[in-house]
A and B are shown apart, each in its own frame.
Chain A
C-alpha cells in the first residue's frame, strides 16, 4: 500500500538557518502531496500542497516540489524563525484510498534564537 517516510527528528536549527525536511513516498498512480504543520497543543494546519509532478507548493516562505522521478516532496525554507518551531507532517492522498490522508510520522523542528 501507499506510504510516506519522513526524516526523523528532532531537528534543531538556529534562527535564520536553512531548513530541509526530507519526505519520500511510495504510491501507485498519481497521488497528491501535502505538508501540514502542528504547533504545540493545536490541531494540524495545511501548509502547502502539490497535485501533480513538478508542481511546487509554497506558503509562508516554505516550498516543496513534487518530484515523481525520485518520489520525493522535501520541505525547504531559506531562513527559519523561532515561530516556525512545530511538528511538520508530510502526507499523500490517492484515489485508491478515497483520497484519505496517509501521513508520515512527523518531524519536530526547534528553532533557537
Chain B
C-alpha cells in the first residue's frame, strides 16, 4: 500500500489564482479529512468526508471546497487564493471500525505559498 499520497509537494500561487490539492489513499478508508498547519497554531480541520458523496465543514472551511466522488480521492480546491492561505496542508484518512475512535494516517503534506 502507498498509504496516503498528496500532490504537489510544493506550490506557489499568486493572489486570486485557483488550484486543486490532490489526495488519494489506497487503504479503502471511508473517512478522509484535510488539515492546515500554521506555526504556533497546531493543525486545524478544513473539511472532512465520511464516505463517497458525503462531505462536511470543519473549523476553517472558508475559501476551500471539497468533493468526494470516489472512496480513494478527496481533492481540496482553493477557489481564489489569498496570502492567508499560505500554509502546509495535510490530508488524512482513518480505517473503519473502533466506532470512529481509531487513529488517522496522514499524507506527507503540500507546502503552499500565496504571493
A→B interface (CB under 8 Å): 32, 34, 36, 42-46, 49, 51, 89, 93, 95, 98-106
Contact = CB atoms under 8 A, between A and B. Distances in A.
A46 B103 contact: yes
Contact of A99 (B40, B44, B101): B101
Between B42, B104, B108, the greatest number of chain A beta carbons within 10 A of the residue's beta carbon is seen for: B42
B106 A93 contact: no
B interface secondary structure, majority:
strand
A102 B90 CA distance: 14
Contacts of B4: 43
A101 B45 contact: yes
B42 A44 contact: no
A84 to B, nearest CB: 19
A4 B92 CA distance: 19
